[in-house]
Amino acid sequence: MAKKTKQMTTWHWSGPILGLDLSLTGTGWSISQLPDCLLPTLESGMMETKGLGDFERLDYILQRIMQLVADPKPLVIMEDFSFASKGQAVFQIGGLGYLVRHALWKLGIPFLVVAPTLLKKFVAGKGNVDKNVILKEVFKRWQFDTDDDNIADAFVLMQIGRCLAGQLPAQNEVQVKIIFELYKNIPGMLAGMDSNQQ
C-alpha cells in the first residue's frame, strides 16, 4: 500500500512578509518585499537596545516594528515564547511579546506565532539543534549569510511565512508537515482581525 503524505496547503498572501525574533537586547527582523517577483527584495537587521532602560527598550522596539509594518501591511510571523526560559527576563519578554501582538491586532495586521521547536525543525529537521547549526543551515538552504542568531531566526520565520502564503515551495516533507500544521491557525488569525474591524 502506498504511503499517504500530507498535501501541501497554502494560503495566498500577495503582500510583504515580516519575520520577527523578539528579544530584549537584539530583536531580529527579516522582510520580503515585492513577493510576486521571481527574486523578491529581502532586507534584514537587528534592533539593538544597549544602554536603554526597561521602558525605553520596549518603546524603541515597538516603534521600530511599527515602521516595518507601515504600508503596505505585511503578514507577520513571530517566534512564540520559549517555556524553557528562566529568571526575571521571562516576564519582560512576555510583556514585549504581548505589547507587539496587541499593536498588530489594533492595526489589523495579520500575524502568526511559531513555536521555537518548529522553527528549528523547519530549517534543520530537528527541534533541539544548536544556534550554530541554524546559522549553517540558513546559508546552506537559502544562501543567506549572517553571524547573528536573532537575524537568522527572523529569516527562517520569514521563509516559513513565504511557504505558508504560497510564495516559496517547501523543500522537504518536514517543512510540508510544519506548513500544514500552521495552516490550521489561519482561521483564528483571520477571526482576530475581523473582531478588531467591528
User: Would you kindly state where each structural domain of the chain is located, as residue ranges?
Assistant: 17-35+42-197
- Ranges of beta strands (E only) in 1-99 are 17-21, 26-33, 41-48, 75-79
* 2: confidence class by pLDDT, cuts 50, 70, 90: very low
Q: Which pTM does this prediction carry? A: 0.87
- Least confident residue range of 18-27, 80-89, 107-116, 147-156: 80-89
- Return the C-alpha cell found at 140: 546552506
CB count in 10 Å sphere of residue 18: 27
Give pLDDT, residue 84: 59
* CA 70/CA 58 separation, integer angstroms: 19
Task: Please write the tens of the pLDDT for every residue from 164-186.
Answer: 988 888 999 999 999 998 988 88
CATH number (3.30.420.340, 3.90.70.10, 3.60.21.10, 3.30.420.10) of 17-35+42-197 reads 3.30.420.10
- Cα 49 from Cα 71, distance rounded (Å): 25
Cβ burial of 182 (10 Å; 0-12, 13-18, 19+) is buried
Q: pLDDT per residue over 93-116, tens digit each?
A: 889 999 999 999 999 999 999 999
Cell (9 digits) for 15: 503582500
CB half-sphere exposure, 74, CA atoms < 13 A: 25
How big is the chain by its Cα radius of gyration, in Å? 16
- Structure-model confidence comparison of residues 37 and 172, the more confident one: 172
- Per-residue model confidence (pLDDT) at position 177: 93
User: Is residue 6 very low, low, confident or very high in pLDDT (cuts 50, 70, 90)?
Assistant: very low
Indicate whether 27 pLDDT > 50: yes
